[in-house]
Amino acid sequence: MDESVRHFIEECAQDLVGLEVALFFQSNPRAFDTASGIALRTHRAVSDIEPALARLSEQGYLEVLSRGDGRYQVFALSPRPEVWRVLCRVSDAYHENPKARKEIILMLVQRRLKERDAEAATSNSSGGRNDV
Amino acid sequence: MSDPVSTGVAGLDEILGGGLRRGSCTLLEGIPGTGKTTLGLRFLHHGAVADGAPGIAITFEQFPEQMVDDAAQFGWDIRELEQQGLMRIMCTSPDVFLDQLSEVGGVVDRLVSEMGAQRVLIDSASHLSQVGEDQRDQRQQFYSMINGLKRAGLTTVVTKELESSEILEIPFEEYLCDTVIRLDNRMVGGFRRRRFIEIAKSRGQAHRLGRHGFEITADGPVVYPRWEPQPRTVGDTCPATRASTGIPGLDRMLHGGLISGSATLVAGSAGVGKTTLGLQFICEGARQDETGIFVTFEESPDKLVCQAGGFGLELAELRDAGKISIIHEFPTTVRFEKLLLDVMAEIDRIGAKRVVFDSLTDLGMAFPNEESVREAVYELVSMLDSRGITSVVTTEVPELFGQTYVSGEHLSIIVDGIILMKYLELESEIQRAMSVLKMRGSGHDAGIWRYIIRNRGIELQSRFEGAEGVMAGAARTTQIALSVRSFNEFDEQLNAELLERFSQIHPNVQPVSLNIPYNPDEALDTVRTALRATSTHLSVAPMCLYWTPEIIATRRLREVHDLLSDAEWSQHIPEVVEPACEGDSIFGVPAIAVCGTLLYRRDLLEEHGFSAAPATWDELVEQAKKVLADEGRDDLIGFQFPGYLYEGLSTSFLTNLWSNGGQVVRDDGTCALDSEAARGALRFMHAAIHEHGITPRSVTSYTGGLEPQDDFTEGRTLFLYMLPSVLQEINQPDSPLAGRVGIAGPPHGPRGERGFSFLGGWHFGIPVNARAPVAAGDFIQFMASPEVQKERAMRGGPLPTITSLYRDPEVLAFNPHYPTVYELLCSARKRNEIPRYMEVSELLQRHLHPVLTGEREPDATLDELVPLVRELVER
Q: What is the pLDDT of residues B235-275, one digit of tens each?
A: 555 567 899 999 999 999 998 899 999 999 999 888 899 99
pLDDT at A128 over 50: no
Residues 6+ positions from B113 with CB-CB distance below 8 Å: none
Say which of B82, B96, B106 has its CB closest to residue A37: B96
- Greatest alpha-carbon span in chain B: 151
Is the Cβ–Cβ distance between B199 and B16 less than 8 Å? yes
Query: Considering only CB atoms, which chain B residues are within 8 Å of A30?
Result: 64, 82, 88-91
A68–B103 C-beta distance less than 8 A? yes
Task: Look at residue B511 in the predicted model and tell me its pLDDT.
Answer: 67
Query: Considering only CB atoms, which chain A residues are within 8 Å of B82?
Result: 30
A31–B91 C-beta distance less than 8 A? yes
Of B558, B494, B528, B515, residue with least CA distance to B768? B558
Task: Look at residue B738 in the predicted model and tell me its pLDDT.
Answer: 83
pLDDT at A129 over 60: no
> Rounded to a whole number, what is the distance in Å from the CA of A81 to chain B's nearest CA?
13
Q: What are the backbone angles phi and psi of residue B540, rounded to the nearest 5°?
A: -115, 110
Say which of A31, A68, A72 has its CB closest to residue B92: A31
The arithmetic mean of pLDDT across residues B60-68, rounded, is 90
B-chain residue closest to A64, CA distance:
B107
A-chain residue closest to B100, CA distance:
A67
B90–A32 C-beta distance less than 8 A? yes
> Rounded to a whole number, what is the distance in Å from the CA of B138 to chain A's nearest CA?
19
Residue A12 DSSP symbol:
I
Cα angle for residues A46, B61, B212 (degrees, 5° grid): 170
Whether the ω angle into residue B359 lies within 30 degrees of 0, i.e. cis, is yes
> Rounded to a whole number, what is the distance in Å from the CA of A17 to chain B's nearest CA?
18
B89–A30 C-beta distance less than 8 A? yes
B90–A31 C-beta distance less than 8 A? yes
* Burial class of residue B736, CB neighbours in 10 A (0-12, 13-18, 19+): exposed
Q: In a mutagenesis test of the B interface, which of A21, A23, A30, A33 is the best target, namely the one with the most B β-carbons within 10 Å? A: A30
> Rounded to a whole number, what is the distance in Å from the CA of B282 to chain A's nearest CA?
59
> Rounded to a whole number, what is the distance in Å from the CA of A68 to chain B's nearest CA?
7
B93–A28 C-beta distance less than 8 A? no
Annotate B372-440 with DSSP letters as a single string. Answer: HHHHHHHHHHHHHHHTT-EEEEEEE-S-SSS---S-TT-GGGTSSEEEEEEEEEETTEEEEEEEEEEET
Please write the tens of the pLDDT for every residue from B311-359: 889 999 999 999 999 999 988 788 888 899 999 999 999 999 999 999 8
Query: Considering only CB atoms, which chain B residues are within 8 Å of A62?
Result: none
Say which of B92, B93, B99 has its CB closest to residue A68: B99
B-chain residue closest to A33, CA distance:
B92
Q: How far is CA B864 from CA B856, B861, B867, in A?
A: 11, 5, 7
A67–B91 C-beta distance less than 8 A? no
> Rounded to a whole number, what is the distance in Å from the CA of B20 to chain A's nearest CA?
27
Please give, one letter per residue, the 3-state secondary structure of B691-705. CCCCCCHHHHCCCCC
Give the ipTM. Answer: 0.73
Task: Look at residue A132 in the predicted model and tell me its pLDDT.
Answer: 32
B89–A33 C-beta distance less than 8 A? no
Chain-centroid distance, C-alpha B860: 59
d(Cα B577, Cα B584) in Å, to the nearest integer?
A: 12
pLDDT at B480 over 70: no
pTM reported for the whole predicted model: 0.57
pLDDT at B798 over 80: yes
The arithmetic mean of pLDDT across residues B387-413, rounded, is 71
A34–B93 C-beta distance less than 8 A? yes
Q: Which of B82-86, B187-191, B811-815 shows the lowest mean pLDDT across its residues?
A: B187-191
- The H-or-E segment that residue B366 falls in is none
Of B796, B821, B763, residue with least CA distance to B569? B763
Annotate B311-336 with DSSP letters as a single string. Answer: TT--HHHHHHTTSEEEEE--TTT--H
Please write the tens of the pLDDT for every residue from B11-53: 999 999 999 999 999 999 999 889 999 999 999 999 999 999 9
d(Cα A21, Cα B360) in Å, to the nearest integer?
A: 58
Is the Cβ–Cβ distance between B535 and B516 less than 8 Å? no
Of B558, B559, B550, residue with least CA distance to B528? B550
Q: Share the mean pLDDT of chain B.
A: 87
Please write the tens of the pLDDT for every residue from B860-872: 999 999 999 999 8
B96–A33 C-beta distance less than 8 A? yes
Query: Considering only CB atoms, which chain A residues are within 8 Å of B107?
Result: 32, 65, 74, 76
> Rounded to a whole number, what is the distance in Å from the CA of A38 to chain B's nearest CA?
8
Query: Considering only CB atoms, which chain A residues are within 8 Å of B106?
Result: 67
Is the Cβ–Cβ distance between B458 and B284 less than 8 Å? no
> Rounded to a whole number, what is the distance in Å from the CA of B359 to chain A's nearest CA?
52
Is the Cβ–Cβ distance between B357 and B363 less than 8 Å? yes
Please write the tens of the pLDDT for every residue from B194-234: 899 999 999 888 888 888 999 999 999 999 998 887 776 65
The arithmetic mean of pLDDT across residues A31-41, rounded, is 90
Q: How confident is the model at residue B404 (pLDDT cuts 50, 70, 90)?
A: low
pLDDT at B413 over 80: no
Q: How confident is the model at residue B748 (pLDDT cuts 50, 70, 90)?
A: very high
Chain-centroid distance, C-alpha B807: 44
Say which of B82, B92, B103 has its CB closest to residue A32: B92
Task: Look at residue B188 in the predicted model and tell me its pLDDT.
Answer: 73
Annotate B132-153 with DSSP letters as a single string. Answer: SSSHHHHHHHHHHHHHHHHHTT
The arithmetic mean of pLDDT across residues B110-124, rounded, is 90
Query: Considering only CB atoms, which chain B residues are within 8 Å of A28?
Result: 63-65, 89, 91
Residue B787's CB: how many other CB atoms inside 10 A? 9
A36–B93 C-beta distance less than 8 A? yes
Q: How far is CA B172 from CA B21, B137, B141, in A?
A: 20, 11, 11
> Rounded to a whole number, what is the distance in Å from the CA of B60 to chain A's nearest CA?
9
Whether the ω angle into residue B124 lies within 30 degrees of 0, i.e. cis, is yes
Is the Cβ–Cβ distance between B266 and B406 less than 8 Å? no
Residue B866 DSSP symbol:
H
Query: Considering only CB atoms, which chain A residues are within 8 Å of B91?
Result: 28, 30-31, 33, 41
Q: How far is CA B202 from CA B17, B122, B144, B195, in A?
A: 9, 19, 20, 20
B93–A40 C-beta distance less than 8 A? yes
% of chain B at pLDDT higher than 90? 50
Chain A residues in contact with chain B using a Cβ-Cβ cutoff of 8 Å? 27-28, 30-34, 36-37, 40-41, 65, 67-68, 72, 74, 76
B-chain residue closest to A23, CA distance:
B65
> Rounded to a whole number, what is the distance in Å from the CA of A130 to chain B's nearest CA?
48
Query: Considering only CB atoms, which chain B residues are within 8 Å of A31?
Result: 64, 90-92
d(Cα B369, Cα B387) in Å, to the nearest integer?
A: 28
A33–B92 C-beta distance less than 8 A? yes
Please write the tens of the pLDDT for every residue from B763-776: 999 888 777 787 78
d(Cα B110, Cα B123) in Å, to the nearest integer?
A: 20
pLDDT at A122 over 50: yes
% of chain B at pLDDT higher than 70? 91
Torsion over CA: B636, B639, B644, B646 (sign)? positive
B65–A28 C-beta distance less than 8 A? yes
Q: What are the backbone angles phi and psi of residue B633, rounded to the nearest 5°?
A: -95, 135
Q: Share the mean pLDDT of chain A.
A: 88
Q: How far is CA B222 from CA B67, B196, B197, in A?
A: 19, 10, 10
A-chain residue closest to B96, CA distance:
A33
Please write the tens of the pLDDT for every residue from B822-855: 999 999 999 888 988 989 999 999 999 999 999 9
Task: Look at residue B469 in the predicted model and tell me its pLDDT.
Answer: 61
Say which of A33, A40, A67 has its CB closest to residue B103: A67
d(Cα B168, Cα B586) in Å, to the nearest integer?
A: 75
Torsion over CA: B862, B865, B869, B870 (sign)? positive
pLDDT at B708 over 80: yes
Is the Cβ–Cβ distance between B628 and B709 less than 8 Å? no
Is the Cβ–Cβ distance between B458 and B273 less than 8 Å? yes
Chain-centroid distance, C-alpha B73: 55
Q: In a mutagenesis test of the B interface, which of A23, A27, A28 is the best target, namely the one with the most B β-carbons within 10 Å? A: A28
Of B563, B520, B487, B460, residue with least CA distance to B775? B563
A74–B91 C-beta distance less than 8 A? no
Q: How far is CA B479 from CA B118, B467, B504, in A?
A: 84, 8, 12
B107–A32 C-beta distance less than 8 A? yes
> Rounded to a whole number, what is the distance in Å from the CA of B65 to chain A's nearest CA?
6
Cα dihedral B279, B280, B285, B288, rounded to 10, equals: 140
Torsion over CA: B486, B492, B496, B498 (sign)? negative
d(Cα A122, Cα B505) in Å, to the nearest integer?
A: 122
> Rounded to a whole number, what is the distance in Å from the CA of B69 to chain A's nearest CA?
11
Is the Cβ–Cβ distance between B650 and B816 less than 8 Å? no
Query: Considering only CB atoms, which chain A residues are within 8 Å of B55?
Result: none
Q: How confident is the model at residue A130 (pLDDT cuts 50, 70, 90)?
A: very low
In this complex, how many residue pairs, one in chain A and one in chain B, have their CB atoms less than 8 Å apart?
50
- Greatest alpha-carbon span in chain A: 56
Please write the tens of the pLDDT for every residue from B365-380: 777 777 788 888 888 9
B93–A76 C-beta distance less than 8 A? no
> Rounded to a whole number, what is the distance in Å from the CA of B24 to chain A's nearest CA?
25
Q: Which of A50-59, B227-236, B342-351, B446-455 shows the lowest mean pLDDT across its residues?
A: B227-236
d(Cα B332, Cα B415) in Å, to the nearest integer?
A: 25
B-chain residue closest to A30, CA distance:
B90
Please write the tens of the pLDDT for every residue from B536-593: 667 788 888 988 988 898 888 999 998 898 899 999 999 999 999 998 899 999 988 9
